[in-house]
Amino acid sequence: MATMTVGAASLQALGGLCLRRPARSGAPQPRGARILRGSVEAGTFEKSFFTPPAPGETDRILRAARKALDAGRRLRRDARADGRQLTPVERGLASLTNAAVRVLEELLTLARLNHGQVFPTYDYLAQATSLGRVTVARALHVLDDVGFIVRQRRFKRVAGQGPGPRYEQTSNVYRTFLPEAVLAYLPRWMRPAPVPVDEIQRQAERIEEHQAMLSRLGCRDLALEVAGGALGQALAKLGAAIDRREREFQNGSERLTKII
């Protein structure tokens, strides 16, 4: 059962940022360069993209990928025997190959050694895994579809003749994950322990109490509580003005009631 933390409940009104998967087609760019659509300039986003893996995280992901590979083989076999159609998640698992797991192993090794900074070229992965470049590209596509990795295309500026900058494609960057959709197909000992019912109830009560507290705050205090930082300070100034107008309106209403 999914649960929501108190912090998440406070930030509901603010929305969130999401990583969008890049499109697969190319598009011509200015200055005659050809940059793949969805590419982002190298050096402008990597600090927020890269995340050092937690202790033991890379090993857990690799074990899960190997078990998912076995699960995909069983699903293919059972689907042929029963004559049924696989679900989208099952089709993703069934598409996993030994090559895909080997490429993922190399990405996880780079993540562990380089504190999460993973940006190998296709040629590097081909040499490190002893696989063909086309096989590596296909493996990355499968891993992306299943959810074991998120990749972002990049381009960089290069020196050239004539006015204006020149661009060229450079290596992708990668982050590794253990996709939630895969957990149900893993052995029980590899799945996260379920949250106890009483803990779920306590979390729900804390969220209700926090929401009730927020509902009693004025606009200024609400902005500081929810947003914080520079944005919270800016919103707090606006909220303070709204609070003053509200008090003036209420005081005016009280005087009018006394006169009547």
The answer on 230 and 180 residing in a single domain is no
C-alpha of 204 from chain center: 25
The answer on 185 and 202 residing in a single domain is no
The answer on 161 and 249 residing in a single domain is no
Give me the phi and psi of 248, to 5 degrees please: -60, -40
Give the separation between CA 108 and CA 121, rounded to whole angstroms.
15
Give the separation between CA 223 and CA 214, rounded to whole angstroms.
10
35 Cβ contact list (under 8 Å, min separation 6): 26, 27, 29, 155, 167, 168, 169
The answer on 248 and 132 residing in a single domain is no
The answer on 132 and 152 residing in a single domain is yes
Instruction: List 154's β-bridge partners, or say none.
Output: 40, 170
The answer on 217 and 173 residing in a single domain is no
The strand pair at 40-41 and 149-158 is best described as: parallel
Give the separation between CA 126 and CA 72, rounded to whole angstroms.
24
Domain extent for 224? 197-259
The answer on 105 and 156 residing in a single domain is yes
In this prediction, residue 255 carries a pLDDT of 54
The answer on 129 and 51 residing in a single domain is yes
Q: Tens digit of pLDDT per residue, the chain (260 long)?
A: 444 454 544 444 444 433 444 434 444 444 445 789 999 999 999 999 999 999 999 999 999 999 999 999 999 999 999 999 999 999 999 999 999 999 999 999 999 999 999 999 999 999 999 999 999 999 999 999 999 999 999 999 888 766 667 889 999 999 999 999 899 888 887 776 666 777 778 888 888 888 888 788 888 777 777 776 777 777 778 878 887 887 777 766 555 455 54
User: Would 151 be classed as within a structural domain?
Assistant: yes
The answer on 179 and 70 residing in a single domain is yes
The answer on 234 and 217 residing in a single domain is yes
